[in-house]
Structure 1
Amino acid sequence: MEFRIEHEWNSNPVSHDPVTVCLKPMKEGLQMDVTAPFFNNPAAPPGPPGKPFNGLWDYEVVEAFFLNHEKEQYLEVELGPHGHHLVLLLSQRRHIWKKCLPLSFEASIRETTWRGSALLPWEYFPPSVDQFNTYAIHGSGSQRTYESLYPIPEKEIQVGQQPDFHRLEYFKPFNFHMLMGKEWKEPESSLWKM
């Protein structure tokens, strides 16, 4: 399943090759592969690559959100070109109850492109995920750019509105059975039972 981020958060088209996010089924979880332009702006976060970095959303990053819209429970995964990652579990909009979970993630930069691959364990997904969105962020100051697979429709943008990736009402339907097959049963998560 491949997604291309072709718009900014406010529905304006992006001015570069789109970021692609590819989801692949694995026995242990969902593989998330990213191919994106490398802007090198801002510079790499100060933490060690391969480790969770709280605040990664302030750097160059690609994010994916997996939502159970009825309960407003969601998994947020952030991946950066320099090898940093951040995994958040949220219950209700913006309410983080678990953060900096470990993740198997590798990233590489090649001239003007970066690629990353992460394995998202089934344990991290809330039960009954049925909606999804993915985002990309890069740039600094007034040049900071926020991109969205499912942006806010242009006619709904308010004067002075700022980007907000937690506008869950703009997420679109997502079904694991399209990836895993009709017979697939979602593994129970001990994290989300708590």
Structure 2
Amino acid sequence: MELRIEHTWDGLPVSHDPVTIALKSYEAGLLVQVSAPFFNDPPAPLGAPGKPFRNLWDYEVVEAFFLSGGSEQYLEVELCPHGQHLLLLLSGRRRVWKEELPLEFDVTRTESTWKGSARLPWNYFPPGVNKFNAFAIHGSGERRRYEALYPVPRHKLQEGQKPDFHRLDFFQELNLKQLMGEDWKQPESDIWKTQTN
């Protein structure tokens, strides 16, 4: 399954080659592969590549959100072209209850593009994932750009509205059985069993 981020968060066409995100199955979970332009703006975070980095959304990043629509529980995955990552588990809109989980994440980069590959174990996914959205952020100051796979529809924009990637109402259906096979059932998560509202 390959998805292309072709619009800004508010529905305008992007002005560069779109970021692509491929979702694929692997033995223990979901493989997320990113192919994107490399802007190198802002500069790299100071954290070590391969490690979680707090507030990664302040840098150049591609994000994937996996939502259980009925419960508003979701997994937020942030991937940086410099090799850092951030995983957040949220129960309710913007309500983080677990963060900085470890991740197998590899990056290759040229002067103008980057590719990332992240292996997400099923243990990180909330029960009943059925919705998805993805985002890309780059640039500094006035040049900061926010892009969305499923943007806010133009007719729903309000004056003065700012980018908000936690608008769960604009996420779209994700049928993991298309990737995993019709008989597949999402494995239970020991991590999510420990979550209490």
Counterparts of 2:123 and 2:87, CA distance in 1: 12
Name structure 1 gaps, 5 residues minimum. Answer: none
The alpha-carbon deviation at position 167 of structure 1 amounts to: 0.2
Is residue 60 of structure 1 aligned with residue 57 of structure 2?
A: no
1:49 alignment counterpart: 49
Runs of 4+ residues deviating >3 angstroms: none
**CA offset at residue 192 of structure 1?**
0.6
Distance (whole Å) between structure 1 residues aligned to residue 139 and residue 154 of structure 2: 22
Q: Alignment partner of 2:123: what SS?
A: helix
Write the distance in 2 (CA, Å) between the matches of 1:156 and 1:73: 24
Q: Which residue of structure 2 aligns with residue 20 of structure 1?
A: 20
Amino acid corresponding to residue 138 of structure 2 in structure 1: H
Equivalenced residue count is: 194
The aligned amino acid for 2:190 is S
Quick check: 1:174 aligned with 2:177?
no
Give 1:163 deviation, angstroms.
0.1
Q: Secondary structure at the match of 2:109?
A: strand
Q: Partner letter of residue 56 of structure 2?
A: L
TM-score (norm 1): 0.99
What's the RMSD between the two structures over aligned residues? 0.5
Matched ranges for 1:1-194 at <5 A: 1-194=1-194
Write out per-residue CA displacement over residues 9-56 of structure 1, whole angstroms, 9 at most, x where no aligned residue: 000000000000000001111000000000000000011110000100
Percent identity for Structure 1 against Structure 2 = 62
Gaps of 5+ in 2: none
Give how far 1:111 is off.
1.6
Q: Once the 2 structures are TM-superposed, how far is the Cα of residue 67 of structure 1 from its aligned partner?
A: 0.2
Q: Deviations over 1:55-106 (max 9, x none)?
A: 0000000000000011000000000000000000000000000000000001
Cα distance in 2, alignment partners of residues 48 and 35 from structure 1: 21
Distance 1:181 1:192 in 2: 23
Partner SS, residue 188 of structure 2:
coil
Displacement of 1:184 in angstroms is 0.8
| 1:110 CA displacement | 0.8
Superposition TM-score, scaled by structure 2 size? 0.98
Measure, in 1, the Cα distance between the counterparts of 2:159 and 2:138: 23
